[in-house]
Structure 1
């Protein structure tokens, strides 16, 4: 490749009339990046999919469930091919105190047959499989490569990337940034108006514990490929966040998700909270005898709609975690499906812009339109107030204790004293846990507005 005199600028690396090598470069071969590369390659565009790890998924850890229905548009009959551990047929939400636990447990066999609802999966397997679909469609996978800068022309339009490879620079009409949380490419392009504030990030910490398959099925009351996903509130010692436990074929994953600022203020090590969760009387019997085979931690962008950067620049789009598209709204804890959806629309919009010859913000504006019409931004906008509600002190500490005390009072038999009425029990629980009526009503109203 021959370039006319590179020059360093504060905005990146500027090139005069760089030779185009690819139509589209996608940075990051996670779910968003591979979906973008797959969609763009299918549209007939030349695509480079750059991954810093030795293979897609090599640097990813995961503590949740994959909701795959967005793949209906990308991979027909995906459930027959996608590498999954178990299909989630039982979904539980648990509120806890150190000695109590109340669980709302839902189970359905509708989720145990095609097209399924959610699945547990290892990210190394999932990411590799999705990247294979992109390669099969014609994308070029470039692993073990770190993107160090954006390339810009004299007008400021993004025209490619600089890498740590010996041959250095790759050029394209459009760059799609899928480079994960705290995207340095989006920052370099000026798409984050302010620094990604720590209050918009959480820290996920996970242990994977090996258990025999038959033991898992006995303890969680499941058979075959059925699986369980348990989400918990009130198990993080007052630090905003929550816990999770889910089943794989022959292991279970357990961990916590913690507000980054809360961890710093509490000066508590996350592994201490995981250890406490494992000792909880509602959890310990489920994981007894499990041998740790993995420990991992990663940042999660949970700020929601209001924490997203600009999604479009001249010659550039942003998708997935790089665009803060993880939905953390109480009973909805989703990320991979939003990443795949955003990536698919980014690839589709980029391919159309290249075909039209206009890769400016205006030419790429179809990306935002597609996101607005889909669940990706519609759900984020509808639930934009939920992150603040879920991470508030009342939701994290007072409400779990209030609910557990209320239910314990309902079921406790104190003969010869007569049973107290529900109103009396509620007033007593609210007083003991410092909850005021106006707070309860205001939070209830905020929650109901998000559910409309």
Structure 2
């Protein structure tokens, strides 16, 4: 290698960037991996769930050495009002079978582990360094500038998070719109492993993933999440940025209301607050994906908009890892040809189109628009709570047929609204 030039510079030490650097270094390329935080994962906030299939293909049996927390065997979804919760639960060992398994992770630990794996593979890594801008010569990305120092490379992989300001500043991608992202807030509470297992009916390394809609986001587009770690619980909210001022409450006030909810408070009782963090996350699915490659550069992970939220499931980590893998493979193909132009790096987009990433984003492309419906987060939780209350509360009053009780709550939402939302919901999935 030319002493002043790398084969590849990867900006961002998250899952996408570290995966790309790991694969490229394994293949003998001279790779520089730059992370802005003091360590990989230091500035990341996450719901905490990794679907294993993507990383398993790259590092077989990775969970045997990686700092994973618990394997998810219990899925729960709740619709909540200020005092009530209607919950659906699915508990099955099938969720833990190899190939369909998923793990709760703490990104501060997990990202650092994968970052270190890239270094072990031979990548030159550095943390606590901010990339100020991209070097662009004759409309081609040729490197990066950090603190006035120029570092050149044949290709730059941008994996610098949802606000990829480097790409935006260089005119390589459009500005991220408020409707495309959400603001997340997370708290982590320390509790003994035995307490967590008792409260969530778990054994050994089993874990629970739980999503909430309704009152956690004050009836606005968004929701809550809860994940069980080995000796702590991660809990938080995600709220669409464009709706953040509509409820009249701050995000902090919403978090207080959520953690004090009768469904939640007993689960974190006596827990010690370990961490409180915030982050912006991609939320718009396929409509957020813009520029992915060009002369001398590739974009992957959150920076590319690869995230999937379909209400009952939120995915981002597996998409980030596989996009990092495919970016690395595109660079390897370009290296063989000695051509890092846009036409050569187009293989990245071709591989994405043939992967689960673009397939899944395409399948659910209409879901973000369907979810931008206040009835889902306001009227429907109240409707379900009212129906369940009429089913189970016995107060000595003369009984009415259940259909009549239910119809009262259905009419409150509007039968036409119910039919319209049901049809749109079916179309979106």
Fold in common (TM above 0.5):
yes
Partners of 1:191 and 1:309 within 8 A in 2: no
1:20 CA displacement: 6.2
Pair 1:425–1:379, CA change in 2 (3 A): farther
How do 1:309-324 residues align onto structure 2 when only pairs under 5 Å count? 309-324=290-305
How do 1:253-292 residues align onto structure 2 when only pairs under 5 Å count? 253-292=234-273
Partners of 2:223 and 2:237 within 8 A in 1: yes
How do 1:300-339 residues align onto structure 2 when only pairs under 5 Å count? 300-339=281-320
SS of 1:449's partner is helix
Q: Counterpart of 2:414?
A: 436
Q: CA separation in 2, counterparts of 1:425 and 1:372?
A: 49
SS of 1:265's partner is coil
1:111 CA displacement: 3.4
Gaps of 5+ in 2: none
SS of 2:227's partner is strand
1:138 CA displacement: 1.9
Partners of 1:191 and 1:311 within 8 A in 2: no
Provide, for residues 319-357 of structure 1, a one-character-per-residue CA deviation record: whole Å limited to 9, x for no partner: 111111121121120111111111111111122112212
2:155 to 169, 174, 177: 174
Gaps of 5+ in 1: 2-17
- Is 1:199 matched with 2:182? no
Q: Counterpart of 1:366?
A: 347
Partners of 2:21 and 2:123 within 8 A in 1: yes
Q: Counterpart of 1:396?
A: 377
Provide, for residues 290-346 of structure 1, a one-character-per-residue CA deviation record: whole Å limited to 9, x for no partner: 121111111111111101221111111111111111211211201111111111111
1:110 CA displacement: 3.1
- Is 1:136 matched with 2:120? yes
TM-score relative to the length of structure 2: 0.94
SS of 2:83's partner is coil
Q: CA separation in 1, counterparts of 2:126 and 2:299?
A: 19
Q: CA separation in 1, counterparts of 2:295 and 2:420?
A: 42
Q: CA separation in 2, counterparts of 1:212 and 1:391?
A: 38
1:35 CA displacement: 0.9
Where has structure 1 moved over 6 Å in runs of 4 or more? none
Q: Counterpart of 1:427?
A: 407
How do 1:45-444 residues align onto structure 2 when only pairs under 5 Å count? 45-112=29-96, 114=98, 117-154=101-138, 156-164=139-147, 168-193=149-174, 195-234=175-214, 235-413=216-394, 417-422=398-403, 424-432=404-412, 435-444=413-422
Q: CA separation in 2, counterparts of 1:393 and 1:53?
A: 36
TM-score relative to the length of structure 1: 0.90
Q: CA separation in 2, counterparts of 1:437 and 1:23?
A: 61
- Is 1:445 matched with 2:420? no
SS of 1:85's partner is strand
How many residues get paired? 428
